[in-house]
Structure 1
């Protein structure tokens, strides 16, 4: 308890300093400014940089850009994290979303030795950790050294039939949805991809789709466009 009380006292002292509050506000704004333009570029579907594809980071970003709406999803996540940081009541939620994204960028930067974010990405990771420390009073309940006050538990041995029925129904619904949501898949190899063509309404278009990916090396979106064009030609 002395250790926890000491941490609470240190935190209260830091939070009471005017200049530390100014610095915290600046940190929040700086982090938000770092993600807003980066996220917006991804949302509108533009390539993030003009790096050459043969450059290590450019190679990665080109592949990321070809992932379709996953690329857009990252952009929305970055913008959402930035907006949450701008609102005092949602700062913690914003940091918890921001930190894994920027930490991933930091590790990527080190892995490909990209000098463009070699300085900024570790500083942004440290800034996120600082904001978590600033909001220690709101997150201390998750630490193993903190013992929350006991909550009375009401004993109940009745089998929760409707709960487990809902779990079972959810598993069936998810399983059915993910296995029937696509009429064609790229699969892992050309042979595996062409196996699905036997059950396809248009085996010829299906094989063209598989060859576009596994033989011609095109991305999924390009292969889907070729597939749709082949279907239209067949209908004519």
Structure 2
């Protein structure tokens, strides 16, 4: 299955998606801004508001969380270092998931739960090498794989910077333009990936 085109493209774009979610969410913390005031989902009478306000008031810890998310998201989007990225990603999203089920976040636990499931999918995908973490002998494939092509690292870098820009801008028109850029690059990436995999299949 790992040598088939669609599963590989699915994993590649799943990494992009999770990376985007973390990078986008990290900017608020790195800027030293309140997460709750921007989301509008919480208010001072909600116990969760006090929880986030306490973390925000910590200053350094709040930014530390932001940089942790930024690094994990960036590593996932590079594809090349996605294995390290998912290892960093897991404890962070697990912590977020537990927080969302501990407080009244309504539908948020569903979203964080799905992200957690997606994280386990990525771990399962790379388990042949990640199992070294539990003292198991890793196994490596010598077959050329689409996900190892440098084109995905280039696209990931473009997505990373577009994600940061999309969070920093305030213009609605600019946001639409960036969204269209995401969509165009994604479609081009899929086309390039399909053609490259077809060439790999023909050679083998």
Higher helix share: 2
1:71 equivalenced with 2:58 (yes/no):
no
- State which of 23, 29, 38 in structure 2 corresponds to 1:36: 23
Q: TM-score, normalised by structure 1?
A: 0.54
RMSD over aligned Cα atoms: 1.5
1:108 aligns with 2:95: no
Counterpart of 2:126 in structure 1 is 135
1:136 Cα deviation from its structure 2 partner:
1.6
Q: What is the Cα deviation at residue 89 of structure 1?
A: 1.8
Three-state SS of the structure 2 residue aligned to 1:45 is coil
**Runs of 4+ residues deviating >6 angstroms:** none
Equivalent residue number for residue 88 of structure 2: 97
Determine if contact 1:53/1:62 at 8 Å carries over to the other structure: no
Q: Give matches, 1:145-224, under 5 Å.
A: 146=136
SS in 2 for 1:15: coil
Query: Among residues 111, 117, 133, which one is paired with 2:108 in the alignment?
Result: 117
Instruction: Give the Cα–Cα distance (whole angstroms) in 2 for the partners of residues 26 and 120 of structure 1.
Output: 18
Over residues 80-138 of structure 1, what are the superposed CA-to-partner deviations in whole Å (9 max), with x where a residue is unaligned? 11100011221011111111011001011111131252211111111111111111222
Q: What is the Cα deviation at residue 53 of structure 1?
A: 2.1
Q: 1:46 aligns with which of 23, 30, 33?
A: 33
**In 2: Cα distance, 1:61 partner to 1:39 partner:** 14
The 3 A distance-change label for structure 1 pair 21 and 147 is closer
Equivalents in 2 of 1:142, 1:81: separation in Å? 18
Cα shift at 1:58: 1.5
Q: Could you say which residue in structure 2 is the equivalent of 1:57?
A: 48
Partner of 1:171: none
* Greater relative contact order structure (CA < 8 Å, 6+ sep): 2
Unmatched segments (≥5 aa) in structure 1: 1-13, 149-236
Separation in 2, partners of 1:59, 1:138: 41
Q: Distance in 2 between matches of 1:113 and 1:107?
A: 12
Query: Post-superposition shift, 1:52?
Result: 1.1
TM-score by length of 2: 0.62
1:186 aligns with none
